Amino acid sequence: MATRVRRASPSDAAGIGRVHADSWRVTYAGLLSPRFLAGLDQELLAARWHRRLRAGGEEQVLVADVRGEVGGFSLSRPCVEEADLVGFAGEILMLYVHPAAQRRRLGRALFERARADLAALRLFWLVVWVVEANHAARAFYRRLGLRPDGARRADVLGGESVAVVRYAGPLNPLIDYPALLRRPARSDGG
């Protein structure tokens, strides 16, 4: 499968809207109101994405382009909402792959590109908020090296309060602890 991850343009809005609606219906089935999920409007979402992509700013929207079609997308930016993370951390706010394109490493490719782009901004930490009951997403982020850091909050999705947990990991660590642990001990005591 010919896939490449690239920056999204306004012409990708319809594909992002499709992935957004279809992936939410599958991902949040049983977690959010069936009525809310059934009412997700791809055209309305596409119009919102089109405006967002035209506006630009610090947000970065990436798409996994599969033979000219949007197979998945991510939205990332430097942290702006949590005062203790501003200037220090980047955040992946959304990462979704169309249900028909899952298990093809698109999510991993989007994550790795978003992580690399945030690291290039000289940020030190990466955070992702995940719906607590979304066990598949939690396992996905664990496989990619992120761990829950103890932060929790409630978000409103589809008019319902939903528990979310924060996963985090290094982007540009100040100290490379794994490398320090791999170094052989010095025999001169120092």
Task: Give the model's pLDDT for residue 103.
Answer: 83
| 109 domain-assigned | yes
Average pLDDT in the 6-21 region? 95
How many CA atoms lie within 13 Å of 146's alpha carbon, on the beta-carbon side? 26
Write the CATH number for 159: 3.40.630.30
Position 175 pLDDT exceeds 70 = no
Read off the pLDDT of residues 86-130 as tens digits, 9 standing for 90 and up.
Answer: 878 899 999 999 998 888 899 999 999 999 999 999 899 999 999
Residue 84 to residue 102: CA distance in whole angstroms = 35
Mean pLDDT score across all residues of the chain: 88
CB neighbour list of residue 134: distance below 8 Å, 6 or more residues apart = 27, 28, 31
Q: What is the pTM of this model?
A: 0.85
Residue 148 lies in a domain: yes
In a domain, 187, yes or no: no
Scanning the chain, the segments in alpha helix (DSSP H) are 13-27, 34-38, 42-55, 106-120, 135-143, 177-182
| pLDDT the model gives residue 12 | 94
Its domain, for residue 146, covers 3-182
pLDDT of residue 186: 58
- Is 189 among the domain residues? no
- The answer on pLDDT for 133 being more than 60 is yes
Q: Which residues on neighbouring strands pair with residue 32, listed in sequence order?
A: 29
pLDDT tens digits for range 31-67: 888 889 898 999 999 999 999 999 878 899 999 998 8
Residue in this structure with the two tokens 């055209």, named with its chain if needed = 43
Q: What is the pLDDT of residue 102?
A: 82
Q: Is residue 120 part of a domain?
A: yes
- Residue 173 placed within a domain: yes
> pLDDT at position 176, please?
58
SS3 content of the chain, % helix, strand, coil (to 5): 40, 35, 30
Q: Is residue 104 part of a domain?
A: yes
Q: Residue 190 falls within a domain, yes or no?
A: no
Q: How many structural domains is the chain composed of? A: 1
Answer yes or no: is pLDDT of 189 > 90.
no
Q: In terms of C-beta density within 10 A (0-12 exposed, 13-18 middle, 19 or more buried), how is residue 111 classed?
A: buried
